[in-house]
Structure 1
Amino acid sequence: MKSDFKESIDRAVNNANLTGALGKFSEAYKVNRAKAYEGIDFEVLRTTIAERKSHAASHLDLMAAAFTRNAEALGAKVFQTNDPEKVKEYILKVAKENNVKTVVKSKSMATEEIHLNSYLEKAGIAVGETDLGEWIIQLAGQTPSHMVMPAIHMTKEEVSDLFSKEVNERLTTDIPRLVEVARKELRSKFLAADMGITGGNIAVAETGSIVLVTNEGNARMVTTLPKIHIALVGIEKFVEKFADVVPVLTALPRSATAQLLTSYVSIITGPAPNTDGSMKDLHIILMDNRRTEMANDPKFKQAMQCIRCGSCLNVCPVFRLVGGHVFGKIYTGGIGTILTAWFDELKKSEEIQGLCIQCGNCKEICPGKIDIPELIMEIRRRLVQKEGLPLLQKAIYRVVNNRRLFHGMLRAASIAGKPLTSGKFLRHLPLFLADLTDGRSLPAIAAEPFRDRFKKIKQPKLKEKAAFYAGCLIDFAYPEMGEALVKILNKAGIEVVFPEEQTCCGAPARYSGAYEVAEKNAIDNIKALLSEDVQYVISACPTCTVALAHEFISTFESLGQTEWMPRAKELAGKTVDFSSLVKKLVDEGRLTLKEGRKLGKVTYHDSCHLKRTLHVSEEPRELLNKVGYELTEMFECDTCCGMGGSYSIKLPEISAPILQRKLTNIKETGAPVVAMDCPGCVMQIRGGMDQDGADIRVRHTVELLAEQLED
C-alpha cells in the first residue's frame, strides 16, 4: 500500500498539465537566463552577494539595531520577535486599533510561513491577495507552488474557470481578457482597503529602508493607497549598506525570471504622505523564527545567503516533474526543504528531503552560492541522528560494511540471477522487485568480477604505478570497463595495481545520512588504496571519485574524526578521474591515440558528479574528437539521467520519467553511440535503451578510447 506522499508523487507525474507547464518553463528559463547574464561575470557577482549576505548574517544583532534606529528616526515603528504568534498578534492589534476591516497584500512568503491570512480572516478581517499568481491560488484555495511564480502549476483553462466563478461570467482563455478581469477586480480591493501588508526583498541596515521588487505594480498600490502599511521581513533579508542592494538587484530578476530588471523596484525609507496630507502609519516587523539559530549553525549559516529567487526550483529535474505542492511545504524545492527543516521543524522535511536527487544543478546556479545538496545531506544526517535508520537500511549497511560478506553475496547473486538473465540484462524481476525493471533493464551481475579478471591480466613492470578504484559497478557488473582502463594506462607506461581490500565508497550510506557507516567505508578504502606507493588513484566512476577526493574528508569533518584525516587528504591529493588523467597523458605525449579516422557520430551525456563537483566536461569530449568521433551535442546534455545511485530504487516513479526525457534527447541527435564517464549512468541509460528497443550503443568513454590505441 502506497503512502500518501507516494500517491501525491504519482498524481503529479501523471498530471500532463503540471509537467507540461513546468517542463516548458524550465526549458525556456535556461536559454533566457543565459541571455540575461550576458556580459556579467556570474561567479564574481554571486561571490559578492554571498560575502555581503554572510557578513549580515554574522552580525544580525548589529543589523537589527542599526535598522531599527534608522527606520524609527524616520518615523517608522519597528517590532522584532522570534515568535510567529507574536507577529500575528501584533498585526491584529494594529488592525483592531485602527478599525481595519479589509487588508490588501502583495506577495510575501513570510506571511505564508506564519499562515497570516487565515489568522486575520478568523478575526473577521477580509484579506485580498493582489499579486496575480497569489490571487489565483487564493481563489483556488491552494498554497504557492513556487516562491516567485506561485501559480506556475495552473493552466489558463483552470484560471479561466476560477475567474468565471468569481465574476459570475463565462470567460474564455484569452489571456488579455483574463488580465483585464483581474485588474478590474483587484482595483476595487486596493481602493477599499484599510491596511496594506507586504514582505520585503531587502532590508538595509544603514538607511532603515525596505526594498520591494515586483512585476505588476501591485506592491506600489498596496503601499500607497491604504493609510497603514505593515512590512513583514525575515531578518535574513538584511544587508549592511545601501550599496549592497545593487548586486542583489542585479541577480534577483535574472535568476528568478530571466529578466534584466523587474518592472517595479520600490525603496521605502520612512513613512510617506497619504493623499489627505497625513503621514502613513508604517510598521516594520523583523521576524526571526529560528533564523538566528540558523545563522549560528556552522553548516546552515550559508542558507541565510538566499535571495529567494527560486532559480534552484527552475533548474531542478525533480521539481519540474512534481511541482512545489509535492516538493515542499510553504517554501518549495531544494532551498524550501532546508527552510522547512528550520522554520517549521526537522521532522516535516523528512519526506521532501528524499526527493533531492543530488544532481547539483541548484548549487551551480544559486546566486547566493549556497551548497543546497550538501545542506540536504546534512538534514538527512540529523534525521538519522534523531530518528535512527530504518531496520532494512541497517541490515543493508551491515552487509556492505562487511566486505567479504558483501562480495560473497554479489557472487552468489550472479549465479542465482541466471534464470532471470537475457543477454547481459535482467529485464524483468518477480513480485515486489518488479518496479526495479519498470522502464529500464538492469545489468546482470558478471559471472567473473573484475577483481578475478585482474589477476589474469599480464602487465609489464613499469616504474609509475596507479591504484585502480573500481567501485561496485565496474567490479561486479562491468568488468570490461576495468580491463579497458588497464589497457590504456599500460599503454601510457603506468602499471595498474588493484588493492583487493577496497570496498564500497560509502556514497549510498552518506547520501542516506548514515555518516558513521560512510566513515567505516572511508577508513577501509584509505587503508586499501594507500597500501602501496602509487602516483595516482584512478576511478572511472565520478561518484566514487568524488567520495575519494572530497567526501571522505567532509565525512570525517562532520564526525570530528581526526585520526584518519591526514591519510584522507593524502588520498584526495592522488585521486583523479579517468578522463582528466588520460587527457593529461595525451597532452604530455605519453599516450598516443589513433587519429584521422572517421568513426561517425557520438553524443555525450555529462554525469552530474563529473561536471558539477569535479568540473570535468571538456576533457572527454576532446578525447572522443581526437580519435575521430563527430560529437553531436544533445539537448540538456548535462541534465540528470535519473539514476542518482539508490534514488532510482527508492523513487522509480520520478527516476523513470527523468530517464525517458534523457532517452528522447539522445535519440533526437541521430547519433548511434552515446558516451559517458559514469558506470551508474551507463546502467540507467543502457537499461532504458534496452527496454526502449532503440538501436543506440551506450558506452563508457574508457571503452571507446581503449578501442583506439595506437599499436
Structure 2
Amino acid sequence: MIREEIKKALQNANLSGALTRFSEAYAVSRQKAYEGLNFEELREKIASIKSYVAEHLDELIQTFINSATENGAKVFYTKSPDEVRNYIIELAKKNNVKSIVKSKSMATEEIHLNKYLKEHGIEVNETDLGEWIIQLAGQRPSHMVLPAIHLTRYDVSDVFTKKVEPVEPDIARMVKFARKHLRRKFLAADMGITGANIAIAETGTLVIFTNEGNARLTMALPKIHVAVVGVEKLVAKMEDIFPIIKALPRSATAQLITSYISFVTKPYRHIDGSQKEFHIILFDNNRSVIAKDPIFKQSLQCIRCASCLNVCPVFRLIGGHVFGKVYTGGIGTILTAWTEGLKASKDIQGLCIQCGNCVRVCPGKIDIPELILEIRKRLAKEEGLNFKTKAIYSVVNNRKLFHSILRAASKLQKPFEKQGFIRHLPFFLSELTTERSLPAIADVPFRDRFKKIKQPKSNKKAVFFAGCLIDFAYPEIGEALVKLLNAANIEVLFPEEQTCCGAPARYSGVMDVAANNSKQNIEALLSVDADYIVSACPTCTVALKKQFVKDLKEQNYGEDLINSAQRLAEKVLDASELINKLIKEDKIKFDKLPETAFTYHDPCHLIRSLGIYKEPRESLESSGMKLIEMFESDTCCGMGGSYSLKFPEISGNILRRKLDNIIKTETKLVCTDCPGCVMQIRGGVDKEGLPIEVKHSLQVLAERLKK
C-alpha cells in the first residue's frame, strides 16, 4: 500500500516542485530571520521551558483550570477524543447551533471533529485559507503549517470552480474571492472553534498566532467561542512565552513575527453587547502518558512549527499525504504512534532516512530520528520479526558465517560484475540497480590485504575499525588510511575478530543483534593496546563512540562490559578528525602537485552526529586541492544504509538531486568521508555515465603524500 502511495507521489511533479521550491526558499529566509539571534541559546530556553511542563504536567493542568475558571471561562479537561467531540456536539445542540466557523487547529484534526459535526447536521467551515481549500477539496492537510502547500494555483482554481463558483487561477483574485465567501460564513456562524499555540497556566491565558486574522473573527463574531487545546501547549508562566514567540514564526515560515498574536484571557463581549460563552477544552489523548515516558517525553517540547518538515529530504519528495497521517513528517510519525497507537506508525516510521537534518533546526531540541528509532525498537519487540528479517540478522549475528557469505558472494557475482560495478540484477532484485550501480564485492577483502602491508614499528599505535563496506567493498580506503597513519609514524593494528558495527540491526530496531555486534567489537578492539581507535566510516564512528554503551545498557549486559564500552568510546576518533590533527601538527606532509578542483559532500553522521565539517575540507585544501562548494553540500545523498534497499525510488530521487548539484560545480572530483556515500554517489555517477570521480578523502590525501 505505502509503496503505491510513494510511487504516485514521486510521479506528481507539481507536488515535489512546490515542496522543493518552498524548501530552498525557506532555508535562505530562515537564516535571515534568525540573524542577530543566538538560535542555540533560544532553543535551550524553549527545551527547558517545555521540559518543565512535561515534568509538572498534572500540576500545570490544574493551575490552568483554576486560573481560566476564575477568568470566567468554562474549562473541560478530558483524556478522551470521544468526550471532546461529545462536549462540542452537546453544546451546539443546547444552543441551537446550525453553523460553525473554525480557525486552524491540529487538535481538532486529530480527533476528526469536522466529520462528526457534519454527521450531526451541523455546518462547519474552515476559515484559514489553506484549510478551507483542503476542506473544499475533500483532502486532509499535507503540512502542519501550510496545509495546501501541495496544490498549485491551478489546482486551487479548479477546487473553487467545482465547489463554489468559477474563478481564474490568479492568486490575488482567488484571495479576494475567498475573503468574500468566508466573510459570509463568519457573519452567519453561531459558534467559533479555535485551537491555541500556547496556554499559560498561571494566568489562564490562551495565545493564538495567525497570519490572516481569521482566528480573531472566529473568536469575536459568533456568540460562543470554543478553544480545543492539547495539554502540551501549556507553559508555566507568562515570561515563558517570549522564547516561543521569537522562534515559532521564524521556524515555521521564516517570518520575524506572525501577523496577528492574540491573547485571550476572558470571554469577549458579543457585538450586540451580550456576554459571549467561552469554553476551553483541555485535551490529553495520551499526552500525560508521553510525559511519563523517559524517552518520548521530549516530544512534548514540540511547538508545532513544522521546521522539521521543511528541511526533510524525504518529505519534500513525497509530502505529508504519504509521510504522515494527521500529523506529518518525522515529528508526525512520533505523534501518530502515541495518538493513534504504535501500529498506526508502522509504515510511515520507515520513511525516515535518519539524516538528522531536522535535529539542527528544531527549536524544541527534539531528537526526532532517535525517537523514530525507539518506535522501530518497540515495534520489533511488540510484533516480532518476519522470517526474512530473522534470517538476515541471524547471519549478521554470526561473524564467521557473515564473512564467509561475503567471500562467497565475491565469486558468485562474476556474471554480473563489470569494471568494479554491478549494473544489472535479475528478476525481483532488478530495482536495486535502477537508480545506481552497486559496488562489486572486493576479490580480496581489506583484512587479507592488511596482512601484506609493511609498516614501520612505532610506539604510537592505532586500531583500525574497518566496517563492512571498507573491509569487503572498498579495501583501498583502508589501505589509504594505513598509508597516512604510517606517514605520521603511527602503526596500525587490525584485530580480525571485529565485525559489523551493528548499524543495520540498530536502525531496524533489532537491538539484540546490535548489542551482540557491540559486544563482539568491544572484545576485539580492546584485545590490543593502542592510542587511538580509528574509523573511516562516520556511521561506524557514531556506533563506537555513542551507541555501544547505549545498546548494552538497553539489553541489560553486565557492568564490566558497559565499562569496557565506555573505555573504548574515549579512544575513538573519526579518521577525518585524526588526519586533520596530524596534518596541523606537521606530521603528515604533501608533495607540491598541480592544484585540482573538487567539491565536497558532507556525510550526515559526520556533520550532524559528530559535528565534523571543517576538518576534511581543511585537510584536502592543505594538500593543494581547490574546494568548489556545492549547493546543499550537507543534504543527504539518499544512501541511509539499508534505506536505499528498502526505498530505492526515494533514495534514487534524493541521489539525482545530489548529482545535479555536483554537476553544477563543474568539478570532476567529488570527495566525501563515508564509504556509504561513496557507494551511493559513485553508483549514481556510473549509472548516469558522468565523467566524474568519486573518492573517499583519505584516498586523495594518500595519493598526494610527500614521497
**TM-score scaled to structure 1, two decimals?**
0.99
RMSD of aligned Cα (Å): 0.8
Aligned to 1:686: 682
CA distance in 2, matches of 1:633, 1:554: 36
Select 2:21's aligned residue among 24, 41, 48: 24
Select 1:13's aligned residue among 10, 25, 28: 10
Shift of 1:279: 1.8
Select 1:48's aligned residue among 45, 51, 58: 45
Q: Does 1:98 align with 2:70?
A: no
Aligned to 2:595: 599
Aligned to 2:691: 695
Q: Does 1:453 align with 2:445?
A: no
Q: Aligned letter for 1:522?
A: S
Query: Equivalent residue of 2:665, what SS?
Result: coil
Q: Does 1:551 align with 2:557?
A: no
Q: Aligned letter for 1:621?
A: R
Aligned to 1:57: 54
CA distance in 2, matches of 1:493, 1:238: 59
CA distance in 1, matches of 2:154, 2:558: 60
Select 1:410's aligned residue among 406, 413, 437: 406
Select 2:424's aligned residue among 424, 428, 436: 428
Q: Give per-residue Cα distances to partners, 1:569-625, cap 9 Å, x unaligned.
A: 111111110110011112222222335x44221000000000000000100001111
Q: Aligned letter for 2:309?
A: L
Moved more, 65-74 or 131-140: 65-74
Aligned to 1:143: 140
Aligned to 1:76: 73
Q: Does 1:306 align with 2:302?
A: yes
CA distance in 2, matches of 1:645, 1:303: 26
Aligned to 1:208: 204
CA distance in 2, matches of 1:56, 1:444: 53
Select 2:366's aligned residue among 356, 366, 370: 370
Contact 2:435-2:649 at 8 Å conserved across structures: no
Query: Equivalent residue of 2:415, what SS?
Result: helix
Shift of 1:177: 0.3
Q: Does 1:166 align with 2:178?
A: no
Aligned to 1:586: 583
CA distance in 1, matches of 2:205, 2:408: 68
CA distance in 1, matches of 2:363, 2:590: 41
Shift of 1:559: 2.8
Shift of 1:305: 0.2
CA distance in 2, matches of 1:320, 1:562: 44
Q: Does 1:114 align with 2:111?
A: yes
Q: Aligned letter for 1:456?
A: K
Q: Aligned letter for 1:571?
A: L
Q: Give per-residue Cα distances to partners, 1:647-701, cap 9 Å, x unaligned.
A: 0000111001000000010011001100000000000000100011110000000
Aligned to 2:239: 243
Contact 2:136-2:159 at 8 Å conserved across structures: yes
Aligned to 1:128: 125
CA distance in 2, matches of 1:292, 1:566: 35
Query: Equivalent residue of 2:573, what SS?
Result: strand
Aligned to 2:382: 386
Moved more, 158-167 or 446-455: 158-167
Shift of 1:628: 1.1
Contact 2:232-2:287 at 8 Å conserved across structures: yes
CA distance in 1, matches of 2:569, 2:590: 28
CA distance in 2, matches of 1:708, 1:41: 40
Q: Aligned letter for 2:53?
A: A
Aligned to 2:194: 198
Select 1:614's aligned residue among 610, 615, 624: 610
Q: Does 1:677 align with 2:651?
A: no
Query: Equivalent residue of 2:599, what SS?
Result: strand
Q: Aligned letter for 1:492?
A: A
CA distance in 2, matches of 1:591, 1:569: 30
Aligned to 1:496: 492
Q: Aligned letter for 1:39?
A: G
CA distance in 2, matches of 1:679, 1:539: 11
Shift of 1:283: 0.4
Q: Aligned letter for 1:55?
A: Y
- How many residues were matched structurally? 706
Q: Give per-residue Cα distances to partners, 1:282-314, cap 9 Å, x unaligned.
A: 000100100000000000000000000000100
CA distance in 1, matches of 2:175, 2:574: 54
CA distance in 1, matches of 2:362, 2:165: 43
Select 2:349's aligned residue among 353, 358, 361: 353
Q: Aligned letter for 1:507?
A: A
Shift of 1:199: 0.5
CA distance in 2, matches of 1:82, 1:74: 23
CA distance in 1, matches of 2:22, 2:555: 41
Query: Equivalent residue of 1:639, what SS?
Result: coil
CA distance in 2, matches of 1:16, 1:587: 48
CA distance in 2, matches of 1:131, 1:137: 10
Query: Equivalent residue of 2:278, what SS?
Result: strand
Q: Aligned letter for 2:121?
A: G
Moved more, 410-419 or 550-559: 550-559
Query: Equivalent residue of 1:313, what SS?
Result: helix
Q: Aligned letter for 1:152?
A: I
Q: Does 1:566 align with 2:592?
A: no
Unaligned runs of 5+ in 2: none
Q: Does 1:487 align with 2:483?
A: yes
Query: Equivalent residue of 2:282, what SS?
Result: strand
Shift of 1:98: 0.9
Shift of 1:562: 3.9
Shift of 1:19: 0.6
Q: Aligned letter for 1:69?
A: N
Select 1:465's aligned residue among 461, 464, 469: 461
Q: Aligned letter for 1:593?
A: F
Select 1:667's aligned residue among 663, 667, 690: 663
CA distance in 2, matches of 1:613, 1:504: 19
Q: Aligned letter for 2:651?
A: S
Q: Give per-residue Cα distances to partners, 1:250-274, cap 9 Å, x unaligned.
A: 0000000011011000010111211
CA distance in 1, matches of 2:670, 2:107: 46
Query: Equivalent residue of 1:418, what SS?
Result: coil
Q: Aligned letter for 1:599?
A: E
CA distance in 1, matches of 2:189, 2:133: 19
Q: Aligned letter for 2:424?
A: H
Query: Equivalent residue of 1:378, what SS?
Result: helix
Q: Give per-residue Cα distances to partners, 1:214-263, cap 9 Å, x unaligned.
A: 10110010011011100000000010010111000100000000110110
Q: Does 1:437 align with 2:433?
A: yes
Shift of 1:560: 3.4
Q: Aligned letter for 1:500?
A: E
Q: Does 1:638 align with 2:626?
A: no
CA distance in 2, matches of 1:566, 1:681: 32
Q: Aligned letter for 1:168?
A: E
